[in-house]
Amino acid sequence: MADGRTSGDGGGGRLPSAWVPLDLTPDPPASGPYTDLKASSPSTAADAPGSRSLVQDAVASLSEPPQDERPSRYRWQNIVAITVLVGVLVLVALVPVAVLIFRDSGDDPSSHRGPPATTGSPTSVERSDQATTSSPPTTAPTTVPVVVPAPPELQLLVVGQDIQPGRYMATGPGYTCYWERVSGLGGSFDEIIVNRPVSGTHAIVDILASDAGFRTSGCGPWTPYAAPASPATTFEDGDWLVGSDIAPGTYRSTGPAGELPCWWERASGFTYDFDEVIAYDPTEGPAVVELHAGERFSSDVCGTWTLQ
């Protein structure tokens, strides 16, 4: 009876030198329903290091992102964060610079003088139909009323009731005189037709019948205009009628005493509308101007004018 044992040399009288177990398990088919079960069993996967089942590979590929994609995504996030931080720092640095530029470019109206009812560049302005020694302007100044804060004691005179239309003068205003012609009595800025602060001792103004009122402060009493016995050849700042208050001719001023520039204006009337302006000029030093009979001459902070 065969028991699976063999002798070392094939003879029947010797003990066997080794036992060789016989594998009686039939070989599985090359393919079939049991093939995958054996390949995917836990014992087989554990017994064969480095081997992985198809299911494990599929799960691992879905649950774990490719290792080479993570650094790329994080790198872009860092770049965006750094860019935003740099932009914020640049903006914070530029804000103070913009504030300084805006503040330095602002214009303080109180530090400049100009014609009462006009604004323009600091150059002499001359009308083409009048003879003068000043050069003609390249562009016409814009007509804008000068905004001057009115003193608290501003008095309103109703035209036709408190004061009649006509030409008036104030001979003792000093440097505190302010007046304005208004088209209404509501007290709003839009009602101001024209205004003027007088920095002298002589003020003249024409009040029209179409004016609703006349506001004044610090000018003293306003009286109907009266010409002096003879025109003067030396005078101070203020408003003057050439040929009546002062003699025609060429005058020179002593110049401003402080930081404000000398400002003068020649005009054809005393309503102080821009259409009346013949010429005006602000200057830092002594000024020279030729005056003609019948004109209005006004000056501020120019000192004493003397006929040459």
Over the range 28-44, which residues count as b (16 or more CB within 10 Å of their CB) and which as e? eeeeeeeeeeeeeeeee
The distance in angstroms from the start CA to the end CA of the chain is 162
Give the mean pLDDT of the chain.
Answer: 73
In a domain, 222, yes or no: yes
pLDDT digits (tens, 9 = 90+) for 186-220: 989 999 999 999 888 899 999 999 999 999 998 88
Q: How confident is the model at residue 185 (pLDDT cuts 50, 70, 90)?
A: very high
Residue tagged 């120019």 (tokens): 302
In a domain, 65, yes or no: no
In a domain, 79, yes or no: no
In a domain, 121, yes or no: yes
In a domain, 96, yes or no: no
Are residues 227 and 284 in contact, defined by beta-carbon separation less than 8 angstroms? no
Max alpha carbon distance in the chain (Å)?
Answer: 177
Of 6-20, 52-66, 276-290, which range is least confident? Answer: 6-20
- Output the pLDDT for position 103: 60
pLDDT digits (tens, 9 = 90+) for 134-182: 444 444 444 444 444 444 478 999 999 999 999 999 987 566 789 999 9
pLDDT above 80: residue 26: no
pLDDT above 90: residue 114: no
Q: What is the mean pLDDT of residues 245-262?
A: 92
Strand partners, 198: 177
- Rounded to whole angstroms, the Cα distance separating 201 from 181 reads 20
In a domain, 75, yes or no: no
- Output the pLDDT for position 93: 75
pTM above 0.95, yes or no: no
Give 128 or 95, the one with higher predicted confidence.
95
Give 10 or 294, the one with higher predicted confidence.
294
Look up the domain containing 244 and give its range: 113-307
The percent of residues in the chain predicted with pLDDT above 90, rounded, is 40
pLDDT above 60: residue 241: yes
- Output the pLDDT for position 285: 87
Angle at 127 between CA 124 and CA 129, to 5 degrees: 145
Give 13 or 299, the one with higher predicted confidence.
299
Q: What is the mean pLDDT of residues 44-56?
A: 51
Are residues 165 and 213 in contact, defined by beta-carbon separation less than 8 angstroms? no
In a domain, 193, yes or no: yes
Burial of 253 (0-12, 13-18, 19+ CB in 10 A): buried
In a domain, 31, yes or no: no
How many distinct structural domains can be found in the chain?
1
Q: What is the mean pLDDT of residues 102-130?
A: 45
- Output the pLDDT for position 41: 46
